[in-house]
Amino acid sequence: MPNEELVKELDKLYFTDPERYLQRLQNIKNGGYKVLRNAAGKHKVEVNLNTMFGGIFGDIFSGGD
């Protein structure tokens, strides 16, 4: 799902359905995304390579075992 769609979904849920918002937010984060929200309730979603795919990218780039 493109980041723009995730942003629209989170922006809407934040104001309309707080319980579903928290569930969806956790699912998105578990999917390897970093989610930022400003004071106005607007979101930004970025790929987080440190956690995506079980964190293998962080291990590769940091020289981890």
Residue 37 domain boundaries: 3-62
The pLDDT value recorded for residue 16 is 98
How many structural domains is the chain composed of?
A: 1
Task: Check: CB of residue 13 under 8 Å from CB of residue 21.
Answer: yes
Give the single-character DSSP code of 39: T
Per-10-residue mean pLDDT of the chain, 65 residues long, equals: 88 98 96 94 89 58 55
CA distance 10 to 43: 7
39, two tokens: 């004071």
Q: Which residues contact 26 (CB under 8 A, 6 or more apart)?
A: none
Task: Check: CB of residue 36 under 8 Å from CB of residue 48.
Answer: no
